[in-house]
Structure 1
Amino acid sequence: MRFKDKIVLVTGATRNTGIGIAAQFIREGATVCVNGSSKENLEAGAAHLNAMDLINFHLFEADISDIDQVVSMFEQIKQKFGRLDILINNAANQGLGMKFDTMPSEDFLKVLKVNLLGTFQVSQQAVKIMLPQKSKGVIVNLGSNVSTRAIHDRTAYVTSKGGIDALTRSMAIDLAPRGIRVNMVAPGYILTDRWEELSPEVIKRRRENIPLGIEATSGDISEAVAFLASDAAKNISGERLVVDGGCSAQHLPMDIDL
């Protein structure tokens, strides 16, 4: 098992992709610190993991946009385990339904505070634990293909993911000389519970947008994250691994590329 006896923190690990990532590391031998923003979310996440017969995890409540809650979470992790080997920055505010011309600035800021500031705050606290360790550590951020190919009515989200691109590179060059690798996985469409609200027509259209014809599963994203966190990627840092079925490679979907 690639992560036997490793201590791994996954933020936003209470649903969808976050659950998949947590499950991947547990199955591969890690002890996973499952972060969620509320007790209710954590209970739901624990129920999902238990339903998979996975038990090697611990729950840590913290809103990552709140530095006091982040510091408290890391104090608990350090007290309980004494170290942290891998950080997966997965938590995100999706910023749904926010049109550029009507979006209040406080809503724009709310998305950035979770996605960008939250990633910075969690990473900074993780690094404080990792640097004194002999084995240092690894950080994998969750970005998005929208950071380079914007989608409609998601300005705050797109902006935050563009920031994650830059933050990943900056962290990587600052931390590489000190033994910590930092990389990013950039998904496209992911099959989540939000797809249950989509019409068959919308789902069909989405799949036609993807050269491979199928959206990613949480397992697809988890495998990419696990690769970057593993020793197989020991000479990779500052990179952006796109997992989007080929969307970023194309100019237009096949049916309208005329």
Structure 2
Amino acid sequence: MPTIHEKIECLIADRGLTKRKAAEMAGIKYTTFHSAMTSQRKMDFETIDAISKALRVDIRFFSQTKSKVTLEPCSEIDDLNSKAIGLLDEAFQAGVRSHLYAGKEISLEAFLNWWFASSGRLEYADQLIPYIDLFNKPTSDDKRIQPLQTGPQSLASVCFDVQHPGQLIETLEGFDGNINARLLNAHREALEKGEPVISHPSLDVNLRDGKRFTRRYRRVLAPVTLADGTTLVANYSQDIRPQ
């Protein structure tokens, strides 16, 4: 698997830059950057963060499991040092996650950054799961979208008073055929495009408790995959406003 140094090398080459120019763009002394790249000093979080911003990549690029970050030793090390390097690697990846989300509400931008950085792989979505609803891929026979999991802070949970997929199914059954058809088509569009689709739909429906629900909101539907390769549709919505 590629090391963090190799990933940075590839990014610099891809941008058509020299290492000196990349260091300058990142606001790092070239001697410091050179030492880190040649393993003469530790490639610390601050250096990686500065490089990711300068080269315009999400910092999670350096911490994905399938191309896991490694903090390399100088040369030959014993078993004890090897274990220490592994612990530093795990700490770095944990630092990436906390740096991205600590003290922040999840925004549409954060959702899109996550999706494009991870290609929609849900094993990297721990911080997003409470804010999204997950749906099975619609079949040709479906009359409405099929919820698999609801997030406790998603649009459905907050506005429809939904606490589990069964309640969301009941809510959808109360929508008229045209609304359900539009929802099905929107999910199919995201799957066909293979990437997030942003829209600003509106709803005017009666809920399970008999109350009328009228809202316009911003929504992103995106294909996502489980670790076993199963494809689902994620619904992330925000900016709910009364009409």
TM-score (norm 1): 0.27
The structure, 1 or 2, with the larger RCO (C-alpha pairs under 8 Å, 6+ apart) is: 1
TM-score (norm 2): 0.28
Q: Larger C-alpha radius of gyration, 1 or 2?
A: 2
